[in-house]
C-alpha cells in the first residue's frame, strides 16, 4: 500500500486524482482548506465505495501545514507519505501593471511557497528511508507566457525552477521529483481566474483586450480536457514504475507548447496581441529628455550601470536602500561631473516607492535591485523565500507599477529588467534564487506584450555569475543552514570549488552595464541580452536538452551525483 497526500484535493484535478488513486488501492490523504468541501468529498467517496483519509491543510498557512504534518505522522505511525502531490493553486488574470501588491503576493504564497512548505514537511521522511516521490502540478504557463496572466505565469515559472532544483538535490537520496504541466482543463479554476477582469471591461486602455479574453472563455471550455484525464496522468506519476520527469497533458497542450517554443518570439507575441486585440507595438516618440532610474544602484552592477548611462547622456536617478552606498555613488558622480541624482528607496516598501514616483516621468527604468539566496529547497525557510521574492520579484513589480503609468500616459518609455542566466537554467542549491529569476523572465515577457501598444519597450538582461562578491555572499547565506553536518554535507564540502567554477564562468559588473546600455539605446531592443559568452551559450543549449542529459551534466558540474 502506498501513502499519497494530495493538496488542493477538494476540487478539479486534485479531487479526481484523490478518487482515482483510492480506487487503485493507494491510501490517499486528501487535503483542502475548506472543511465543508472536504466533507462533500468524503460523502462522494463513501457513496462510490472508496475509502479516503482527509486532513485540513491550507498551504498558504504555515501553521496549517505543520498541523497536517503532525496528523500524517499519527496516521502513518511515523512513516510519512510515499508520494506528495503539490496540486493546490489558483490564478487571477490582470495586466501586470494593474495587479496590486496584495494579489501578487497571494499568488506566489499559494502557488510557490505553499509547495515549498509541503516539501519541507514531508520530504525528510522520504529522504531518511531512501525512497519517495514528489509530484508538482504546474501549468503550461510555467514555460510560456500569455498576456493578462503574467503574475500567475511568473509564479508557475518559479515553481518549475524550484521543481528542477529539488530534483537535482534529492536524487542522491532516492527521492524522485516529477512535474505535471496541465493545459486547458475544465475545472472551477477559470471562475476564479476571470473574476478580476470584470472591473476592467470598460477601461479605455484595457477594455477591448478584456472583452476579447471573455469571448475566448467559452471556446476555452469547449476544448478543455476533463479533470479525469489529468487524474489518469497523475496516477501514472504517483504509482507507475518508471514515470517521466516531466509530463505536459493533454496532447493538445503538448502541441501548443511545442509550437510556441519553436515559433520566433516576434511571431508568437504578435499572434497573442492580435488574438487579444492588444495594440501592435508602436515606435515611441523621441524623448525630449533622457531620464533614467536605476534600482539597486549602490551595488556592483547598479553602480556601473548608473555611471555608464550618465556618461551616455542620461540624467540618472540612482536609488538604493543603503545611504552609505548612495553617498559613495554621489561622490564619484560629482567627481566625474556626471548627471546623477541619488534617492534612498527600498523596493520592498510599496508605499515609499509610490511616493517617490509622484511627479517623476521616466524614459528608462532599470529594475536591477536583487540578491541571491543559496540553500537546499528542503532547508530554505519561509523567511528566506519571502525575503527573496520580496526583493527580486515583488520589488520589481512595485517599481514597475509605480513608474509605468506615466509612460503609458506619454506613450513612451523603456523598461530593462536585470534577470540572470539562472532565470533560464536551474542549478541545485540555487532553487530559491532561480525561482525568483524565472518569475522575472515570465513577467518581463508579459509586460512586453501588454505594454508594446503604449510605446513602451520591455526587455531583460541575463548575466551569468558576475564577480561582485557572489561567492562570499553565497557562503554567508549557507551559514544560516545546517549544511556541514546534515544530509547535504557531502555536496557542500566541495561548494568552494563549485563557486570558484561559477566565478570563472562569470564576468564583471561592467559587462552587465554595457548590456543594459545597449538595451537602453538601441532603436529596437532585443527581448533578451546575455553577458558574458557563457550566459549566451547556456540559455541557448541547456533548456533544449532532454531532462536526463541536462541533469547528468549539472550533477557532474555541481558534484551532486550519487
> What residues have CB less than 8 Å from 289, skipping those under 6 apart?
315, 363
Cβ atoms of 231 and 16 within 8 Å: the answer is yes
Q: How distant is the alpha carbon of residue 481 from its chain centre?
A: 23
Tell me which DSSP letter residue 185 carries.
B
- Strands across the sheet with 83-86, in order? 53-56, 27-32, 3-6, 83-86, 132-137, 175-182, 246-249
Q: What does 93-142 look like in DSSP terms, one character per residue?
A: ---GGGS-HHHHHHHHIIIIIHHHHHHHHHHHHHHHHT-EEEEEE--GGG
For the residues of 199-220, what is the DSSP string, one character each?
Answer: GGTT-TTTHHHHHHHHHHHHHH
Active site residue 152: yes
**What radius of gyration do the chain's Cα atoms show?**
24
| Rounded distance between C-alpha atoms, residue 448 and residue 470, angstroms | 29
Q: Which helix (H) or strand (E) holds 555?
A: helix 547-558
Q: What is the DSSP string of 222-233?
A: HHPBPHHHHHHH
CA–CA separation, 519 vs 531, rounded Å?
Answer: 12
Can you tell me the distance from the alpha carbon of 505 to that of 137, in angstroms, rounded to the nearest whole number? 33
In whole angstroms, give the CA distance from residue 546 to residue 548. 6
32 - beta bridge partners?
56
Residue 467 CA to residue 446 CA, distance in Å, equals 30
Q: Does residue 531 sit in helix, strand or coil?
A: strand
Q: Can you say how many angstroms the Cα of residue 153 is from the centroid of all Cα atoms in its chain? A: 7
The C-alpha cell that represents 206 in the structure block: 484595457
Please say whether the beta carbons of 451 and 408 come within 8 A.
yes
Instruction: Provide the H-helix boundaries in 454-532.
Output: 470-478, 489-493, 495-505, 509-521
In contact, 10 and 37? CB cutoff 8 Å: yes
Q: Is 217 exposed, middle or buried (0-12, 13-18, 19+ CB in 10 A)?
A: middle
Cis peptide before 250 (omega within 30 of 0): yes
Contact 462, 528 (CB under 8 A): yes
| Strands laid side by side in the 315-320 sheet | 340-344, 315-320, 291-294, 364-367, 413-418, 456-463, 528-531
End-to-end CA distance of the chain: 28
Contact 436, 369 (CB under 8 A): no
234: how many CB neighbours lie within 10 A of its CB?
Answer: 29
Q: Which of 152, 307, 433, 481 is catalytic?
A: 152
Catalytic residues: 152
Amino acid at each position: 500500500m502506498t501513502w499519497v497526500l494530495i493538496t488542493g484535493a477538494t476540487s478539479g484535478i486534485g479531487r479526481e486524482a484523490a478518487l482515482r488513486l483510492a480506487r487503485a488501492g493507494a491510501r490517499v490523504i486528501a487535503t483542502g482548506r475548506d472543511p465543508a468541501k472536504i466533507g462533500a468529498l468524503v460523502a462522494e467517496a463513501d457513496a462510490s465505495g472508496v475509502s479516503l483519509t482527509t486532513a485540513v491543510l491550507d498551504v498558504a498557512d504555515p501553521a496549517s501545514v505543520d498541523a497536517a504534518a503532525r496528523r500524517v505522522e499519527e496516521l502513518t505511525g511515523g512513516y510519512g507519505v510515499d508520494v506528495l502531490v503539490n496540486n493546490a493553486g489558483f490564478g487571477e488574470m490582470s495586466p501586470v501593471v494593474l495587479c496590486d501588491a496584495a494579489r501578487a503576493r497571494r499568488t506566489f504564497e499559494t502557488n510557490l511557497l505553499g509547495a515549498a512548505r509541503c516539501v519541507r514537511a514531508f520530504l525528510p521522511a522520504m529522504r531518511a528511508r531512501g525512497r519517495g516521490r514528489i509530484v508538482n502540478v504546474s501549468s503550461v504557463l510555467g514555460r510560456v507566457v500569455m498576456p493578462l496572466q503574467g503574475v500567475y505565469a511568473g509564479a508557475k515559472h518559479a515553481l518549475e525552477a524550484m521543481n528542477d532544483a529539488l530534483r537535482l538535490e534529492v536524487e542522491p537520496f532516492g527521492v524522485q521529483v516529477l512535474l505535471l504541466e496541465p493545459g486547458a482543463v475544465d475545472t472551477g479554476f477559470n471562475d476564479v481566474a476571470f473574476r478580476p477582469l470584470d472591473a476592467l471591461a470598460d477601461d479605455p486602455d484595457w477594455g477591448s483586450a478584456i472583452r476579447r479574453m471573455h469571448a475566448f472563455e467559452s471556446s476555452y471550455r469547449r476544448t478543455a480536457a476533463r479533470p479525469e484525464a489529468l487524474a489518469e496522468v497523475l496516477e501514472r506519476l504517483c504509482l507507475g514504475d518508471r514515470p517521466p520527469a516531466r509530463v505536459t497533458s493533454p496532447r493538445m497542450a503538448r502541441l501548443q507548447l511545442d509550437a510556441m517554443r519553436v515559433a520566433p518570439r516576434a511571431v508568437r507575441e504578435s499572434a497573442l496581441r492580435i488574438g487579444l486585440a492588444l495594440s501592435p507595438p508602436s515606435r515611441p516618440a523621441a524623448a525630449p529628455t533622457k531620464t533614467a532610474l536605476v534600482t539597486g544602484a549602490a551595488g556592483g552592477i547598479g553602480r556601473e550601470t548608473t555611471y555608464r548611462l550618465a556618461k551616455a547622456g542620461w540624467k540618472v536617478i540612482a536609488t538604493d536602500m543603503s545611504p552609505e552606498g548612495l553617498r559613495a555613488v554621489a561622490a564619484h558622480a560629482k567627481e566625474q561631473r556626471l548627471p546623477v541624482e541619488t534617492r534612498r528607496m527600498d523596493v520592498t516598501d510599496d508605499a515609499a516607492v509610490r511616493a517617490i514616483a509622484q511627479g517623476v516621468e521616466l524614459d528608462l527604468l532599470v529594475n536591477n535591485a536583487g540578491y541571491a539566496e543559496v540553500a537546499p529547497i528542503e532547508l530554505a525557510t519561509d523567511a528566506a523565500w519571502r525575503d527573496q521574492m520580496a526583493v527580486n520579484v515583488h520589488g520589481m513589480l512595485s517599481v514597475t507599477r509605480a513608474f509605468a503609468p506615466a509612460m503609458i500616459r506619454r506613450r513612451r518609455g523603456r523598461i530593462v529588467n536585470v534577470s540572470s542566466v539562472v532565470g533560464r537554467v536551474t542549478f541545485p542549491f540555487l532553487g530559491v534564487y532561480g525561482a525568483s529569476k524565472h518569475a522575472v523572465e515570465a513577467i518581463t515577457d508579459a509586460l512586453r506584450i501588454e505594454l508594446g501598444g503604449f510605446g513602451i519597450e520591455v526587455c531583460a538582461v541575463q548575466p551569468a555569475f558576475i564577480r561582485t562578491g557572489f561567492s562570499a555572499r553565497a557562503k554567508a547565506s549557507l551559514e544560516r543552514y545546517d549544511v556541514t553536518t546534515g544530509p547535504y554535507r557531502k555536496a557542500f564540502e566541495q561548494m568552494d570549488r563549485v563557486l570558484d567554477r561559477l566565478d570563472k564562468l562569470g564576468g564583471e559588473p561592467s559587462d552587465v552595464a554595457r548590456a543594459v546600455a545597449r538595451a537602453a539605446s538601441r532603436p529596437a531592443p532585443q527581448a533578451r541580452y546575455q553577458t558574458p559568452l557563457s550566459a549566451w551559450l547556456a540559455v541557448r543549449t541547456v533548456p533544449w536538452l532532454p531532462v536526463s542529459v541536462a541533469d547528468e551534466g549539472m550533477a557532474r558540474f555541481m558534484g551532486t551525483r550519487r
